[in-house]
């Protein structure tokens, strides 16, 4: 896909300084730029590279004034990093624009969809599925009965969305994700065996939710597992039955949240964090990677460790922990002197 400097400037509302008709068809780091590439300069420590880059077009701040001769066409904008991110988003949308129904597919007669549908080969659409406008279902995806999707939903290859799931507008379900599988519910019997508890609820994803590749979100035992607006999940995360995650909370890879835990809005949770069930975590909480959360957490806390404690207390304690052998030796020396 080829764009000219003038076309890119139009998208970014920027100003061209150089050849407006020069074309680019790929992206590159500024230090690795070559002919036909588009790059950007946002961090001043990379300024020297703009004089040596071979990229055809470079996005810069509108106040940039070169001190040496340039071999690249400039597009001047208010914020180069934000503009480049906007361009990446635009490029991603353009390259993935697909419409129509490929063959073979299985789509129930009772399923409904809006304009702009893309349905990839070997995908399955169950009974009474409702899909809004510009929904993109990629090959080998599974959409169970009575699933509802809003507009501009993307379900990538191999993802599975089980029955009764409700998905809002502008959501992305990455490859291999599973939304709406049974929760982990078993009742112990007197003989030591376990009986399965039917999982009769569903999953609700509000608008602008992203679900990473290989992530699983279990349906509720009763009621709903809910991810509020703007939640972002990384790859390989486990969200158990009846969990609720507040708006604009982000969670990094390999974290696990046990059943019925409630997490507030605008939280940031690092990778490999474990959260026990039936607790409440407040708003604006920060949890460092590999922490274990086994208690209720108030708003604005910052935690680390397993079991997790206050982040500052953890760092102070860790200093003593590293010095523990030295402290033991000092104690032993004092014992020898006293004896």
Which residues have a catalytic role annotated? Answer: 241
Strand, coil or helix: what is 8? helix
Neighbouring CB atoms inside 10 A of 223's CB total 15
C-beta separation of 183 from 259 below 8 A: yes
Q: Please name which of 102, 92, 77, 97 lies closest in space to residue 8, comparing C-alpha atoms.
A: 77
Percent helix, strand and coil across the chain, each to the nearest 5: 20, 30, 50
C-beta separation of 236 from 253 below 8 A: yes
Q: Please name which of 4, 80, 97, 68 lies closest in space to residue 41, comparing C-alpha atoms.
A: 80
Q: What are phi and psi of 16, to 5 degrees?
A: -85, 130
The partner residues of 130 in beta bridges, in order of sequence, read: 112, 148
DSSP designation for 265: S
d(C-alpha 4, C-alpha 14), whole Å: 13
- Is beta strand 172-173 parallel, antiparallel or unpaired with respect to 210-211? parallel
Q: Is 133 exposed, middle or buried (0-12, 13-18, 19+ CB in 10 A)?
A: middle
Q: Is 103 exposed, middle or buried (0-12, 13-18, 19+ CB in 10 A)?
A: exposed
The residue to which tokens 């510009």 are assigned: 134
The partner residues of 234 in beta bridges, in order of sequence, read: none
- CA 179 from chain centre, in angstroms, equals 15
d(C-alpha 304, C-alpha 21), whole Å: 53
C-beta separation of 177 from 213 below 8 A: yes
CA atoms 307, 311, 313, 317: torsion sign? positive
């Amino acid at each position: 896909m080829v764009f000219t400097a003038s076309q890119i400037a139009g998208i970014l509302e920027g100003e061209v300084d150089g050849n407006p008709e020069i074309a680019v068809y790929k992206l590159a780091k500024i230090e690795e730029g070559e002919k036909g590439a588009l790059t950007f300069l946002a961090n001043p420590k990379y300024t020297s590279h703009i004089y040596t880059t071979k990229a055809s077009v470079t996005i810069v701040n509108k106040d940039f004034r070169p001190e040496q001769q340039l071999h690249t066409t400039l597009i001047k904008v208010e914020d180069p990093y934000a503009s480049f991110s906007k361009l990446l988003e635009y490029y991603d949308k353009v390259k993935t624009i697909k419409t129509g129904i490929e063959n073979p597919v299985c789509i129930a007669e009772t399923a409904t969809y809006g304009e702009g549908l893309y349905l990839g080969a070997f995908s399955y659409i169950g009974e009474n599925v409702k899909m809004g406008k510009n929904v993109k279902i990629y090959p080998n995806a599974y959409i169970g009965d009575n699933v509802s999707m809003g507009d501009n939903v993307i379900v990538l290859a191999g993802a599975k969305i089980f029955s009764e799931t409700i998905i809002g507008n502008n959501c992305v379900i990455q490859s291999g994700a599973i939304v709406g599988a049974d929760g982990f519910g078993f009742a112990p019997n007197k003989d030591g065996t376990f009986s399965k508890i039917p999982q009769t609820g569903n999953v609700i994803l509000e608008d602008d939710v992203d679900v990473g590749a290989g992530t699983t979100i279990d349906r509720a035992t009763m009621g709903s597992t809910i991810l509020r607006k703007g939640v972002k999940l990384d790859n390989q995360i486990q969200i158990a039955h009846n969990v609720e995650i507040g708006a604009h909370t982000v969670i990094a890879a390999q974290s696990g949240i046990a059943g019925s835990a409630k997490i507030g809005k605008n939280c940031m949770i690092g990778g490999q964090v474990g959260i026990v069930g039936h607790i409440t975590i407040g708003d604006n909480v920060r949890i460092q990677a590999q922490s274990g959360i086994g208690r209720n957490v108030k708003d604005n806390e910052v935690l680390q460790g397993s079991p997790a404690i206050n982040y500052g207390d953890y760092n102070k304690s860790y200093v003593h922990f590293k010095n523990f052998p030295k402290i033991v030796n000092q104690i032993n020396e004092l014992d020898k002197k006293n004896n």
